[in-house]
C-alpha cells in the first residue's frame, strides 16, 4: 500500500523548508532543537515518531541527530517531554537532540525532520535503522521538513 503524504505535515516557525538552520540549532551554537508543528495526523494513528537525519554526513548510514517515539497522535507542537515520549540514542550514542555539526568545509548538509504516523506503538527505543526495518509496515503516513546547515 503506498504511503499517503498529502495530509500529514511537519513545519517549523523557526525555519522555512529548504532554508538554512540558525546557528542556535547547531551543536556548537546552542544545541537547541527547533520548534516543530505537526498537522493532518490521521484519525487511525496511535503514535507519532520523529527522526532527524543527515544523509550527507560522511558515514555509511549518514548521521541521525534525534529520535523521538511515543509522541501523541494529534495535531500540535512536538513535545519530546510529553507523557510516553521516549528519546532513542542518536548516532553519537546520546538520547537527546544533537544539532548540526558537519565537518568544516564539507559544504551544505541537509537535515531531514521526518514525522511518522503509526498504526501501533513502537516498543522500546530502536535505532533509526531498526525502526525503519521493523516498523515500516506500521507507517500510515509520513512527511518531512528539510533544513540546511554548513560550517
Query: Which pLDDT score is estimated for 146?
Result: 98
State the chain's mean pLDDT as an integer.
95
pTM equals: 0.95
Q: From CA 151, how far away is CA 147, in angstroms rounded? A: 14
pLDDT at 2 over 80: no
Q: From CA 11, how far away is CA 23, in angstroms rounded? A: 18
| Window from 4-8, 15-19, 92-96 with minimum mean pLDDT | 4-8
Compute φ and ψ for 132, nearest 5 degrees.
Answer: -65, -35
Query: Which pLDDT score is estimated for 83?
Result: 87
Query: Which pLDDT score is estimated for 151?
Result: 85
Amino acid at each position: 500500500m503506498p504511503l499517503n503524504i498529502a495530509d500529514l505535515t511537519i513545519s517549523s516557525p523557526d525555519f522555512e523548508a529548504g532554508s538554512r538552520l540558525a546557528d542556535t540549532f547547531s551543536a556548537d551554537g546552542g544545541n537547541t532543537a527547533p520548534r516543530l508543528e505537526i498537522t493532518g495526523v490521521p484519525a487511525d494513528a496511535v503514535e507519532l515518531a520523529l527522526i532527524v537525519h543527515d544523509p550527507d554526513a560522511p558515514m555509511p548510514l549518514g548521521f541521525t541527530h534525534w529520535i523521538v517515539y511515543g509522541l501523541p497522535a494529534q495535531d500540535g507542537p512536538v513535545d519530546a517531554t510529553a507523557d510516553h515520549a521516549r528519546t532513542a540514542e542518536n548516532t553519537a550514542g546520546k538520547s537527546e537532540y544533537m544539532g548540526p555539526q558537519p565537518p568544516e568545509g564539507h559544504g551544505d548538509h541537509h537535515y531531514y525532520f521526518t514525522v511518522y504516523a503509526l498504526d501501533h506503538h513502537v516498543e522500546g527505543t530502536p535505532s533509526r535503522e531498526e525502526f525503519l526495518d521493523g516498523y515500516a509496515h506500521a507507517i500510515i503516513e509520513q512527511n518531512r521538513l528539510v533544513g540546511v546547515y554548513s560550517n
